[in-house]
Amino acid sequence: MQEKIYTKRGNYTSGQKEPYRISRSKIDLFLNCPRCFYLDRKLGIPQPPGFPFTLNTAVDTLLKKEFDIHRAKQTAHPFIEKYGLDNVVPYQNELMDEWRNALSGGICYLHQSTNFYITGGVDDVWENTKTKELIIVDYKATSKDGEVNLDADWQIGYKRQMEVYQWLFRQNGFKVSDIGYFVYCNGITDKQAFDGKLEFDVKLLPYKGNPSWIEQTLFDIKACLESETIPESSFNCPYCNYRKAVRILKLEI
Angle (CA) 169-106-148 rounded to 5° is: 75
What is the model's pTM? 0.91
CA-CA distance, 99 to 106, in Å (whole number)?
4
Tell me the pLDDT band of 253, cut-offs 50, 70 and 90: very low
Question: Measuring CA to CA, which residue among 243, 239, 249, 250 is closest to residue 36?
Answer: 239
Question: Please, are residues 183 and 63 in contact by the beta-carbon 8 Å criterion?
Answer: yes
Query: Span 154-167, mean pLDDT?
Result: 96
From 143, 195, 145, 134, select the one nearest 169 (Cα to Cα): 134
Q: What pLDDT sits at residue 239?
A: 92
Whether 2 is in a domain gets the answer no
Give the pLDDT of residue 5: 67
Q: Is 191 a member of any domain?
A: yes
Residue 248's pLDDT is 82
Instruction: Give the pLDDT of residue 247.
Output: 83
More confident of the two residues 167 and 188: 167
Rounded to the nearest 10 degrees, what angle do helices 24-32 and 34-41 cross at? Answer: 130
Q: How many domains is the chain built from?
A: 1
Calculate mean pLDDT across residues 171-179.
97
What are φ and ψ of residue 135, in 5° steps?
A: -120, 120
**Backbone phi, then psi, for 238, in 5-degree steps?**
-65, -30
Interval 193-224: pLDDT, tens: 787 788 888 899 999 999 999 999 999 999 99
The answer to whether position 166 is within a domain reads yes
Q: Is residue 92 part of a domain?
A: yes
Domain that residue 216 falls in:
20-252
pLDDT of residue 169: 98
9 belongs to a structural domain: no
User: 50 in a domain, yes or no?
Assistant: yes
What is the arithmetic mean of pLDDT over 100-116?
Answer: 93
pLDDT value of position 229: 95
> Residue 198 maps to which CATH number?
3.90.320
Judge whether 10 lies within some domain: no
Sign, CA dihedral 184-189-192-195, equals positive
Residue 18 has pLDDT above 50, yes or no: yes
pLDDT for 112-147, tens place per residue?
Answer: 999 999 999 999 999 999 999 999 999 998 888 888
Task: Please report whether residue 7 resides in a domain.
Answer: no
